[in-house]
């Protein structure tokens, strides 16, 4: 293997000669190549890890965004829940206020016709719960107790009409007798209706008398109510209860008819207190008022 002779000339320094063995040159070139390969390899590795880093960063950014949007969604949900809670509380407060108002109306009407004692009713002056003011539990319980007590009281009092679409054709008090034409005392009201229409109890109570009077009430039913009053239903076509039966308001007691001293299909309806009949019209209208105000 030969050597490489290199001669460099310059005007100032004269001539310089180098001798390079080919073997050394090859070694040197090999070393440079290896270094280049290594450098490229490291460079590629560096680039690789850089892009991986960038990818990771963008993934983290995407995750951050996802977390943020989830947090936003969560906030929206929580707001919705809070809104719904407030809406519920408002509705409850509204319902309780309405119940209180209704109770006060009922008490006023019932007290006015003497059906209940105004002293025994709850105080309505402290019902100031606004729509957004949650009522304390005591208030809710008091309201429900008051409504329960009213319902219990009204269930015991004969109220309303004994059958649908009844028309008062003869009032309570002195009237001309339909048979004799003379002045006579009418102890109830006559209610015109269709023959065989179902007749209903006007309050909770117990049947105390079922009878027949050919020259009087015809087929009749007498019911005692918990408030101490009694109701009497006359001229029935058919009686469907027996003495001792316990009734709820609305239970059918028989059918409208024309039995006894009657000039046509109608119901003779009486309310008595301490055995004395009185004009039932106020209690009839109170019942109708409560029925209509309920819906
Ligand atoms: Zn009558």
Pick from 45-49, 237-241, 253-257: least confident: 45-49
**249/285 same-domain check:** yes
Task: Calculate how far, in angstroms, residue 211's C-alpha sits from the geometric centre of ligand 1.
Answer: 16
Looking at mean pLDDT, say which of 7-11, 31-35, 69-73, 290-294 comes out highest.
69-73
- What integer is the mean pLDDT of 126-144? 63
Task: Calculate how far, in angstroms, residue 186's C-alpha sits from the geometric centre of ligand 1.
Answer: 6
Looking at mean pLDDT, say which of 21-35, 71-85, 159-173 comes out highest.
159-173
Phi, psi of 16 (to 5 degrees): -125, 140
Predicted pLDDT of residue 125: 47
Residue 156, pLDDT above cutoff 80: yes
Task: Calculate how far, in angstroms, residue 173's C-alpha sits from the geometric centre of ligand 1.
Answer: 10
**Residue 194 belongs to some domain of the structure:** yes
C-alpha dist (Å) from residue 143 to 111, 115, 137, 198, 292: 18, 21, 10, 36, 21
**134/220 same-domain check:** no
Task: Calculate how far, in angstroms, residue 254's C-alpha sits from the geometric centre of ligand 1.
Answer: 17
Q: Using CA atoms, how far apart are residues 251 and 157, in angstroms rounded to an integer? A: 15
The pLDDT-based confidence of 89 (bands split at 50, 70, 90) is confident
Pick from 51-60, 84-93, 279-288: least confident: 84-93
User: Could you tell me the CATH number of the domain that includes residue 190?
Assistant: 2.70.70.10
Whole-number percent of the chain with pLDDT over 90: 39
Domain count, the chain: 2
Place of tokens 């002045």: 183
Task: Calculate how far, in angstroms, residue 225's C-alpha sits from the geometric centre of ligand 1.
Answer: 21
Query: Each residue of 193-234: pLDDT tens digit?
Result: 999 999 999 999 999 999 999 999 999 999 999 989 999 999
**150/173 same-domain check:** no
**Residue 67 belongs to some domain of the structure:** no
- What integer is the mean pLDDT of 94-108? 79
Task: Calculate how far, in angstroms, residue 59's C-alpha sits from the geometric centre of ligand 1.
Answer: 93
Task: Calculate how far, in angstroms, residue 222's C-alpha sits from the geometric centre of ligand 1.
Answer: 14
**146/182 same-domain check:** no
Task: Calculate how far, in angstroms, residue 147's C-alpha sits from the geometric centre of ligand 1.
Answer: 35
Looking at mean pLDDT, say which of 10-19, 26-35, 193-202 comes out highest.
193-202
The pLDDT-based confidence of 121 (bands split at 50, 70, 90) is low
Task: Calculate how far, in angstroms, residue 152's C-alpha sits from the geometric centre of ligand 1.
Answer: 30
**191/254 same-domain check:** yes
Q: Using CA atoms, how far apart are residues 101 and 138, in angstroms rounded to an integer? A: 17
Predicted pLDDT of residue 196: 97
**DSSP E strands: which ranges in the chain?**
3-10, 14-21, 167-170, 173-176, 183-186, 189-192, 198-200, 205-213, 218-224, 229-236, 238-239, 246-247, 252-255, 266-273, 276-278
**104/183 same-domain check:** no
**Residue 229 belongs to some domain of the structure:** yes
**Residue 189 belongs to some domain of the structure:** yes
Task: Calculate how far, in angstroms, residue 287's C-alpha sits from the geometric centre of ligand 1.
Answer: 20
**Residue 77 belongs to some domain of the structure:** no
Q: Which domain holds residue 210?
A: 167-294
Task: Calculate how far, in angstroms, residue 228's C-alpha sits from the geometric centre of ligand 1.
Answer: 22
- What integer is the mean pLDDT of 170-180? 87
Task: Calculate how far, in angstroms, residue 74's C-alpha sits from the geometric centre of ligand 1.
Answer: 72
CA terminus-to-terminus distance, the chain: 121
Task: Calculate how far, in angstroms, residue 218's C-alpha sits from the geometric centre of ligand 1.
Answer: 11
Q: Which of the two residues, 246 and 178, has the higher pLDDT score?
A: 246
Q: Which of the two residues, 26 and 273, has the higher pLDDT score?
A: 273
Task: Calculate how far, in angstroms, residue 268's C-alpha sits from the geometric centre of ligand 1.
Answer: 4
Task: Calculate how far, in angstroms, residue 116's C-alpha sits from the geometric centre of ligand 1.
Answer: 27
Predicted pLDDT of residue 136: 65
Residue 135, pLDDT above cutoff 70: no
Average per-residue pLDDT for the chain: 84
Q: Which of the two residues, 268 and 14, has the higher pLDDT score?
A: 268
**Residue 55 belongs to some domain of the structure:** no
Q: Which residues surround ligand 1, an ion (CB under 5 A)?
A: 190, 268
Task: Calculate how far, in angstroms, residue 177's C-alpha sits from the geometric centre of ligand 1.
Answer: 10
The pLDDT-based confidence of 293 (bands split at 50, 70, 90) is low
**Residue 201 belongs to some domain of the structure:** yes
Q: Using CA atoms, how far apart are residues 194 and 264, in angstroms rounded to an integer? A: 10
| Per-residue exposure over 185-219, b if at least 16 CB sit within 10 Å of its own CB, e if not | ebbbbbbebeeebbbbbbbbbebeebeeeeeebbb
Residue 84, pLDDT above cutoff 70: yes
- What integer is the mean pLDDT of 46-61? 83
Task: Calculate how far, in angstroms, residue 207's C-alpha sits from the geometric centre of ligand 1.
Answer: 20
Return the sign of the alpha-carbon dihedral for residues 180, 182, 185, 188: positive
């Amino acid at each position: 293997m030969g050597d490489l002779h290199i001669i460099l000339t310059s005007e100032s320094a004269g001539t310089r000669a180098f001798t390079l063995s080919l073997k050394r040159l090859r070694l040197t070139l090999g070393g440079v190549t290896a270094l280049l390969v290594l450098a490229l390899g490291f460079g590629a590795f560096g680039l690789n890890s850089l892009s991986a880093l960038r990818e990771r960063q963008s993934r983290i950014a995407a995750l951050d965004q996802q977390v943020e949007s989830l947090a936003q969604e969560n906030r929206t949900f929580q707001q919705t829940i809070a809104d719904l809670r407030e809406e519920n509380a408002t509705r409850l407060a509204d319902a309780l206020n309405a119940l209180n108002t209704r109770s006060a109306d009922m008490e006023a009407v019932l007290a006015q016709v003497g059906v209940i004692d105004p002293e025994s009713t709850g105080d309505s002056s402290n019902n100031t719960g606004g729509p957004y003011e949650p009522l304390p539990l005591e208030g809710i319980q008091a309201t429900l107790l008051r409504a329960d007590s009213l319902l219990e009281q009204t269930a015991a009092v004969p109220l309303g009409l004994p059958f649908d679409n009844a028309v008062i054709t003869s009032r309570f008090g002195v009237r001309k007798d339909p048979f004799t034409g003379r002045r006579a005392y009418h102890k109830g009201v006559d209610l015109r209706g269709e023959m065989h229409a179902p007749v209903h109890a006007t309050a909770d109570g117990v049947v105390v008398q079922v009878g027949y009077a050919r020259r009087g009430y015809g087929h009749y039913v007498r019911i005692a109510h918990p408030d101490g009053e009694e109701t009497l239903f006359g001229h029935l076509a058919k009686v469907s209860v027996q003495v001792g039966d316990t009734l709820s308001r609305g239970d059918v007691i028989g059918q409208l008819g024309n039995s006894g001293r009657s000039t046509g299909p109608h119901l003779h309806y009486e309310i008595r207190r301490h055995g004395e009949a009185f004009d039932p019209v106020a209690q009839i209208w109170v019942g109708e008022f409560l029925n209509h105000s309920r819906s």
